[in-house]
Structure 1
Amino acid sequence: MRILVTNDDGIHAPGLAVLEELAARFSDDVWICAPAEEQSGMGHALTLSAPVRLRKHGERRFSVTGTPTDAVNLGLRKVIPGRPDVVLSGVNRGANLGDDVTYSGTVSAAIEGALAGVRAIALSQVLAPDSANGNGDPFAASRAWGERVLAPLLDAPLPSRTLVNVNFPPLAPERVRGVRPTRQGFHDYARGSVVEGRDPRGRPYYWFGLEPIEHTPDHGSDLEAVADGWVSVTPLHLDLTHYASMQALADRYGG
Structure 2
Amino acid sequence: MLQILLTNDDGYHAVGLKALIEALSGIARITVVAPAKNKSACGHSLTLDRPLRMICMKDDFYKIDDATPTDCVYLSLGNLFKEGYKPDLVVSGINIGANMGEDITYSGTASAAMEAVIQGIPAIAISQVCRNMSQGIDDGMDFDLAKETIVKLVKKIINGSFPLDERKFLNVNIPAIKADECKGFKITKAGYRKYGNDSHRHLNPRGEEYYWIGLHPLIWVPSEDKSCDFEAISDGYVSITPIKLDMTSYKDIENLENWLAD
TM above 0.5, yes or no, is yes
The one-letter amino acid of 1:241's match is T
The one-letter amino acid of 1:167's match is N
- Provide the residue aligned with 1:37 in structure 2: 37
How many residues matched? Answer: 253
1:25 Cα shift? 3.3
1:145 Cα shift? 3.1
- Provide the residue aligned with 1:100 in structure 2: 103
The one-letter amino acid of 2:19's match is V
1:143 Cα shift? 2.6
The one-letter amino acid of 2:172's match is V
CA contact (8 A) 1:92 1:123 kept: yes
- The answer on 1:25 being equivalent to 2:26 is yes
Name which of 132, 144, 149 aligns with 2:148. 144
Residue correspondence of structure 1 range 135-174 to structure 2 within 5 A: 135-153=139-157, 155-174=161-180
Residue correspondence of structure 1 range 1-255 to structure 2 within 5 A: 1-27=2-28, 29-65=29-65, 66-81=67-82, 82-129=85-132, 132=136, 134-153=138-157, 155-188=161-194, 190-218=195-223, 219-254=226-261
**Local SS of the residue matching 1:98:** coil
1:128 Cα shift? 1.9
Unaligned runs of 5+ in 2: none
Deviation larger for 65-74 or 79-88: 79-88
TM-score (ref. length: structure 1): 0.93
**Local SS of the residue matching 1:72:** helix
Q: Which runs of 4+ in 1 moved over 4 A?
A: 130-133
Write the distance in 2 (CA, Å) between the matches of 1:182 and 1:150. 19
The one-letter amino acid of 1:162's match is K
Identity %: 37
CA contact (8 A) 1:191 1:213 kept: no
Unaligned runs of 5+ in 1: none
Q: Cα distance 1:85–1:248, how it changes in 2: closer, same or farther (>3 A)?
A: same
**Local SS of the residue matching 1:241:** coil
**Local SS of the residue matching 1:97:** coil
Q: Cα distance 1:153–1:208, how it changes in 2: closer, same or farther (>3 A)?
A: farther
Deviation per CA, 1:133-192, whole angstroms, max 9, x where unpaired? 83434323213333224333562331110011000000011101111111111113x244
